């Protein structure tokens, strides 16, 4: 009898922040890993850290390249690795007014945040379904649950797409034991706001910041339990409940008063 291949977790955007925290949490749970991101040296450093616990494969890829998803899956197949868990985490923001960036910047953003996610999921879904206990974890944002803020015009819509995408995947694949989850964290300590250049200007109360390790643990726990939506942190769960009961016009007015405190233009 042949020995079944181990099921790997493929984590995109694994070089820092929530992605790296998710990789560490899966390693703690003895799940072998495939790490991908643009920065090879960051991936190798994380892989060296985690290899004492699990097998870690590194496959650098820039998901801004439309050819990257197919190339990444081809490399995984070349190495005869079986993906049981897909974590679509890679992402960033384009700050400023919508007409303040050229279309190429917006097109690249959409490629990374939506198109690459859809293509990777489509290409890997047969293997995930074949596992019998496959998992898909899409790292969205609390922004998906709120009216959109000015200053990052495509960010909330892209994250809202991930939420709806996760819901549909959960329904379509439940018959094969696949759990699909949208992880919707609020403000999380990572490099995200440093990359967009907004951290120094943000006025967010310290109690509203989450730790990446806590977000990772909540997301994986929720996914394992079959939850389609995971909102880490009781403060954010309370805020979500409150906003859901506000009239849409009132929620929009609330965002208009507060969005520039967190994303100044």
Q: Which residues are catalytic?
A: 155
The pairs formed by 209-213 with CB atoms below 8 angstroms and a separation of 24 or more are 210/185, 210/186, 210/236, 212/17, 212/18, 212/20, 212/21, 212/188, 213/21, 213/24, 213/25
d(CA 77, CA 74): 5
| Nearest C-alpha neighbor of 61 from the set 35, 80, 83 | 35
Tell me whether strands 56-58 and 82-88 are parallel, antiparallel or unpaired: unpaired
Which residue do the tokens 């440093």 mark? 194
């Amino acid at each position: 009898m042949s020995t079944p291949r181990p099921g790997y977790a493929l984590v995109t955007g694994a070089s820092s922040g929530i992605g790296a925290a998710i990789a560490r949490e899966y390693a703690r749970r003895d799940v072998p890993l495939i790490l991908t991101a643009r920065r090879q040296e960051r991936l190798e450093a994380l892989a060296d850290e985690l290899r004492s616990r699990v097998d870690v494969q590194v496959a650098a890829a820039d998901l801004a390249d439309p050819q990257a998803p197919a190339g990444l899956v081809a490399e995984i197949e070349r190495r005869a690795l079986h993906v049981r868990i897909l974590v679509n985490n890679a992402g960033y923001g384009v700050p400023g007014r919508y007409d303040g960036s050229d279309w190429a910047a917006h097109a690249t953003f959409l490629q990374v945040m939506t198109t690459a996610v859809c293509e990777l999921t489509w290409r890997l879904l047969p293997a995930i379904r074949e596992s019998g206990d496959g998992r898909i974890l899409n790292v969205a944002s609390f922004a998906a649950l709120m009216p959109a803020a000015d200053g990052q015009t495509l960010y909330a819509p892209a994250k809202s797409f991930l939420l709806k995408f996760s819901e549909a995947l959960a329904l379509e694949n439940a018959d094969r034991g696949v759990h699909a989850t949208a992880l919707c964290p609020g403000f999380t300590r990572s490099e995200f706001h440093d990359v967009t250049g907004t951290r120094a200007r943000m006025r967010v109360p310290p109690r509203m910041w989450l730790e990446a390790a806590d977000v990772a643990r909540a997301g994986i726990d929720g996914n394992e339990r079959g939850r389609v939506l995971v909102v880490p942190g009781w403060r954010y769960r309370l805020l979500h409940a409150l906003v859901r009961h506000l009239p849409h016009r009132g929620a929009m007015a609330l965002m208009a008063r507060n969005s520039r405190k967190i994303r100044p233009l």
